[in-house]
Amino acid sequence: MVNENPYRALPSVDSILSDERVHALADGSASAVTEIVREAVELARISVSQGKRPPTEDQIVETVIGIARLAFQPSLRPVINATGVIIHTNLGRAPLSDDAIEAMAAVSRGYSNLEFDLEAGGRGSRFVHLESVLRRLTGTEAAIAVNNNASALLLALSALAQGGEVIISRGQAVEIGGGFRIPDVMLQSKARLVEVGTTNRTYLRDYDAAITENTIALMRVHASNFRVVGFTDSTTIVDLGTLARERDVLLLDDIGSGCLIETPQFGLAPEPTVQESLAAGADLVMFSGDKLLGGPQAGIIVGRADLIDKLRRHPLARAVRMDKASIAGLAATLLHYLRGEALDKVPVWQMISMSLAETEKRTKSIAREIGAPAKAVDGCSMIGGGSLPEEGLASKLVAIEGDGAYLTDLARRLRTGDTAVVGRIERDTLLLDPRTVRKAELKPLATIVKAALAAS
């Protein structure tokens, strides 16, 4: 007797589509639902080809509903960051202040004066909305902001150094996140990279000896996400500024993190600030908007008015310009600094300045709410996000111990729930750091973890 073909037991696409539960999904998106049903049936066929029993029609319908639930929802969604990494690149870097979020929403709900001069009643420029506050904050002559700091560097080199030489320390010809390499940016801008010194030691005399009639600029790139220690020596931005003036070349300074506040007051190593770089004689300073500045993704360039004007007029400026929402969010963030309220209102600085006593209070409350096996332990929060490498802040953490498989499953449950929670696993312990959890998220965090533990 010939065995019955198992594939014949699978329902047809039309049969699945006629199910009331599937039919209810098709309002306004019938073609998308049909494709999902075909995908579910194909998954069933693959299962059968692997020797498994054919799923029932009801099981395939459940698969369709599951696929649709994912397909009809945005994949980008909020996450509770309990990792203790304040500027977490994979989790969206800097969270925004309430004022920044409201400013972005306000200009996005309707129309705005993005490129319209309300006083003159004619065409305006989107660049003016940020320049005034940046000038007041940093003392710079002029400013421009683009969509990220990689774009800022590419624009500056393309507009000012194309066909010429740019001198940089060999230890600063680095690669940062996402495969972004300084030599590749130089190549794209058609500026010629001239490396001087060695990986660990570069002196002022190295720069001086390399300057030729083709030299356009000296450039410093801050090692924002790594640190070279031991037998090292580097040239200060002050000395580079003096040399640039003496030899009549430009000084470009990529400081990376966009720090406007002195970091040693929080027990951290000094981070280059925009103000220090300008005071040292940098002609242009470039930095990110979404790192220590604490705003939306942006690349900000401040410095000499004549150079900024060249950047504005370069064709690349249009390709890398910011959108209206990002401009509004960045402007609102900068205003926090201008008003002297950054520590109170910019989330990045709220977290950095949070006292150990406050982290302990939060940790004990969360651990008490969760119950056993959660407990409070000593730990460390990290700055992260290409800022202050290896720098940490003493903190109190919620710890849940267990073997590897148990913790892996628990961490997965936390990540894939209706509200995603991301912590970190160290030495057979799941750690949750309340420093990076916003106040409104503290109670939901405890509830979610408690439920995940019960399910495990």
Helix runs in 401-441, H state only: 404-416
Q: Confirm if 450 and 414 have CB atoms less than 8 A apart.
A: no
Q: Tens of pLDDT along 316-355? A: 999 999 999 999 999 999 999 999 999 999 999 999 999 9
Once rounded to an integer, what is the mean pLDDT over residues 436-448?
Answer: 96
Q: From CA 424, how far away is CA 446, in angstroms rounded?
A: 16
Whole-angstrom Cα distance, residue 91 to residue 73?
19
Q: How far apart are CA 45 and CA 6, in angstroms?
A: 9
Write down the pLDDT at residue 1. 42
β strands within 46-151, DSSP E: 79-81, 116-117, 122-123, 142-146
More confident residue, 189 or 447: 447
Q: Which of 26-35, 171-180, 198-207 has the lowest mean pLDDT?
A: 171-180
The tens digit of pLDDT for each residue in 48-97 reads 999 899 999 999 999 999 999 888 888 899 999 999 999 999 999 999 99
pLDDT for 29 beyond 90: no
pLDDT at position 62:
94
* Mean model confidence pLDDT for the chain: 91
Average pLDDT for 388-395: 82
Nearest residue to 291 via CA among 320, 263, 252: 263
Q: Which residues touch 32 (CB under 8 Å, ≥6 apart)?
A: 71
> What was the pLDDT predicted at 92?
95
CB 83 within 8 A of CB 91: yes
- Separation CA 456–CA 243 (nearest Å): 64
CA angle, 203 then 166 then 390, to 5°: 60
Sequence-ordered alpha helix ranges (H) in 161-263: 182-189, 204-210, 237-247
Residue type present at position 6:
P
Residues 97-120: tens digit of each pLDDT? 999 999 999 999 999 999 999 999
pLDDT of residue 179: 57
Q: Can you give the pLDDT at residue 424? A: 95
Interval 5-22 mean pLDDT: 89
Taken in order 50, 51, 52, 53, is the CA torsion positive or negative?
A: positive
CB-count burial class (<10 Å; 0-12, 13-18, 19+) for 409? middle
At 234, the pLDDT band (50, 70, 90 cuts) reads confident
Say yes or no to pLDDT of 225 above 60.
no
Longest CA–CA span in the chain (Å) reads 97
pLDDT tens digits along 174-189: 655 555 567 777 677 7
DSSP type of residue 5 = P
Cα distances from 257 to residues 300, 304, 333, 401, in angstroms, run 10, 20, 15, 35
Cα–Cα separations (whole angstroms), residue 293 to 258, 300, 350, 388, 433 = 5, 10, 12, 13, 22
Backbone phi and psi for residue 76, each to the nearest 5 degrees, phi listed first: -85, 120
pLDDT for the residue 456: 75
For residues 109 and 149, give the distance between their C-alpha atoms in angstroms, rounded to a whole number: 27
* Stated length of the chain: 456
pLDDT band at 191 (very low <50, low <70, confident <90, very high): confident
- The candidate with the shortest Cα–Cα distance to 235, out of 185, 194, 201, is 201
Q: At residue 382, what are phi and psi to the nearest 5 degrees?
A: -115, 150
- For 245-279, letters b (16+ CB in 10 Å) and e give eeeebbbbbbbbbbbbbebeebebeebbbbbbbbe
More confident residue, 136 or 228: 136
Interatomic CA distance for residues 187 and 246, integer angstroms? 27
CA dist., res. 68 & res. 330, Å (int): 36
